[in-house]
């Protein structure tokens, strides 16, 4: 017996197998981790591990199955039939069926403050077709619906969560994704653990995922090189060369869908009563004061694409008759005089997210604007706070990114249409609304392109948004990481990732 006891003691003293942890550095802290309410880019990254979607997109921007295995347009484009994947469970153990998906879709449509409602278009009803099929009924054809379901509008939550939103949802979320949120510390981390009941568990090889918001891109890069992070998003071009030279890391590069722009408060509360909010000539003067090519060279090493619309110039929906404007200081100064500023000088305020990329670019824009007589006061604000102020109208202008979608409707409708959820500046123009509505309800590509061309003529005249550039997707990863795929939506897909 005396020989056996020490052996038993040694076995009991052995440590449990260490859990594998994937550490991801984000450019900012998410707003609210609720797919119905969220509007931040950072939240989408966390959702990529938490909440599967009805459909997804691949590297070729093709729609591919996820929670739905098949789809079919019916009734001349006025209905979309989705066949659901069997064997899917939400993270609270509830099985996904037609009733559960209907509850999830209705949540997007009926929740107060939903930022998904406009993305889903003219839905007039959702019905079950047996236990594992759902039909979405539309009052008119809506071509962008399937693309919308490849992002947050397609994220399904458990029926138990259908009436729980915001912070309450975040306390005990239940999606149908591979990881479950277990802890969030604001401005510090989001901790997720693997959900063993995940329908595609064979592709999940890491036990835990930890997201760390680090606004300073150089600090993110330093943490990656020091082995404190395994993935970092939105590598700044100034850090590209040093990452390429470091054998401990890899730099991944690919095209993106995002656009960065200046949003203007046109009619949302007292802050709209500003020179830039009141007068389109001031907005045009600012637009003409900016040299987008120089901005790209100075702030981004020439690695981004200058732009003036919600899509890049190589996109089929880009209005080619309205190209990126050249800088014109004489015209900018003349516009300020026409707007009633006889000395050619005006003051405007711009809110800026507290991340390196935005701060550097805004300082370049500030210097360019000054040459035209526009004095810009920059107010640097934490991203989630800035987004809240945008919604509440507590801004004159702000610079921000929209992560972009495969269908142009999701880039324009909710931001520009009268009364829509993402229209923080409360811009409203019936002519623009009509063209945007035509674009989303047409099925044939030439007619859609024509409608969006007409919409852009109005939007670029009124300038509720001044588009500036389209970033390239740069990700840094540890050399230990395997299986990383780059998709143009910029999301880190956790399926197939391994740490050697």
Q: Over the stretch 96-109, which tens digit does the pLDDT of each residue have? A: 999 999 999 999 99
Check residue 161 and give its pLDDT: 84
The candidate with the shortest Cα–Cα distance to 238, out of 305, 298, 300, 306, is 300
Share of the chain above pLDDT 90, in %: 92
Stretch (H or E) spanning 392: helix 383-392
d(Cα 313, Cα 327) in Å, to the nearest integer? 18
Q: pLDDT averaged over the chain?
A: 94
Check residue 8 and give its pLDDT: 35
Check residue 395 and give its pLDDT: 98
Check residue 139 and give its pLDDT: 97
Q: How far is CA 251 from CA 277, 304, 497, in A?
A: 41, 16, 16
Domains of the chain: 52-163 (3.90.76.10), 177-255+473-499 (3.40.190.10), 259-470 (3.10.105.10)
Average pLDDT over residues 196-203: 98
Check residue 170 and give its pLDDT: 85
Place of tokens 């997201």: 211
Cα torsion through 27, 28, 33, 36, rounded to 10: -80
d(Cα 309, Cα 324) in Å, to the nearest integer? 8
d(Cα 335, Cα 446) in Å, to the nearest integer? 36
Average pLDDT over residues 185-196: 96
d(Cα 178, Cα 492) in Å, to the nearest integer? 13
Average pLDDT over residues 246-256: 96
Q: How far is CA 353 from CA 115, 220, 260, 388, in A?
A: 20, 16, 12, 12
Instruction: Answer yes or no: are the C-beta atoms of 308 and 324 closer than 8 Å.
Output: yes
Share of the chain above pLDDT 70, in %: 97
Residues 5-41 have pLDDT tens digits of 343 333 344 444 578 999 999 999 999 999 999 999 9
Residues 417-458 have pLDDT tens digits of 999 989 999 999 999 999 999 999 998 999 999 999 999 999
Query: Taking 60 as the threshold, does the pLDDT of residue 50 lie above it?
Result: yes
Check residue 167 and give its pLDDT: 86
d(Cα 497, Cα 228) in Å, to the nearest integer? 17
d(Cα 92, Cα 82) in Å, to the nearest integer? 23
* Residue 336 binned pLDDT confidence (cut-offs 50, 70, 90): very high
Check residue 342 and give its pLDDT: 83
């Amino acid at each position: 017996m005396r020989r056996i006891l020490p052996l038993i003691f040694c076995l009991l003293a052995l440590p449990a197998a260490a859990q594998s942890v994937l550490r991801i550095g984000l450019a900012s802290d998410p707003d609210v981790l609720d797919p119905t309410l969220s509007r931040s880019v950072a939240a989408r990254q966390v959702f990529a591990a938490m909440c599967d979607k009805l459909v997804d997109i691949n590297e070729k921007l093709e729609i591919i199955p996820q929670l739905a295995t098949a789809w079919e347009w019916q009734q001349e484009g006025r209905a979309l039939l989705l066949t659901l994947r069997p064997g899917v469970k939400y993270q609270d153990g509830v099985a996904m069926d037609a009733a559960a998906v209907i509850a999830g879709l209705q949540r997007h449509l009926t929740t107060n403050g939903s930022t998904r409602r406009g993305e889903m278009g003219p839905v007039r009803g959702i019905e079950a077709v047996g236990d594992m099929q759902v039909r979405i009924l539309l009052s008119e054809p809506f071509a962008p619906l399937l693309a919308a379901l490849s992002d947050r509008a397609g994220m399904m939550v458990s029926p138990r969560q259908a009436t729980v939103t915001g912070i309450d949802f975040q306390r005990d979320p239940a999606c149908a994704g591979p990881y479950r949120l277990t802890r969030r510390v604001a401005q510090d981390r989001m901790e997720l653990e693997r959900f063993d009941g995940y329908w595609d568990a064979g592709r999940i090889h890491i036990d835990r995922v930890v997201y760390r918001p680090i606004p300073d891109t150089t600090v993110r890069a330093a943490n990656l090189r020091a082995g404190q992070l395994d993935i970092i998003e939105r590598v700044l071009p100034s850090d590209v060369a040093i990452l390429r030279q470091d054998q401990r890391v890899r730099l991944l590069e690919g095209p993106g869908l995002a656009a960065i722009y200046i949003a203007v408060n046109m009619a949302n509360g007292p802050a709209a009563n500003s020179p830039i909010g009141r007068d389109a000539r001031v907005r045009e003067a600012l637009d003409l004061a900016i040299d987008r090519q120089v901005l790209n060279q100075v702030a981004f090493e020439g690695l981004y694409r200058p732009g003036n619309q919600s899509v890049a110039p190589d996109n089929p929906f880009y209005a080619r008759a309205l190209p990126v404007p050249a800088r014109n200081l004489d015209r900018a100064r003349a516009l300020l005089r026409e707007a009633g500023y006889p000395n050619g000088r005006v003051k405007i305020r711009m809110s800026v997210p507290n991340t390196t990329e935005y701060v550097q670019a805004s300082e370049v824009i500030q210097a360019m604007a000054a040459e035209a007589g526009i004095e810009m006061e920059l107010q640097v604000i934490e991203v989630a706070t800035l987004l809240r102020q945008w919604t509440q109208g507590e801004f004159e202008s702000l610079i921000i990114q929209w992560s972009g979608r495969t269908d142009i409707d999701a880039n324009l409708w909710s931001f520009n249409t009268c009364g829509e959820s993402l229209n923080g500046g409360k811009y409203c123009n019936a002519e623009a609304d009509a063209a945007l509505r035509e674009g989303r309800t047409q099925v044939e590509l030439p007619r859609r392109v024509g409608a969006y061309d007409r919409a852009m003529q109005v939007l670029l005249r009124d300038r509720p948004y001044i588009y500036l550039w389209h970033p390239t997707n740069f990700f840094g990863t540890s050399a230990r990481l395997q299986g990383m795929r780059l998709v143009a939506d910029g999301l880190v897909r956790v399926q197939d990732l391994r740490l050697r």
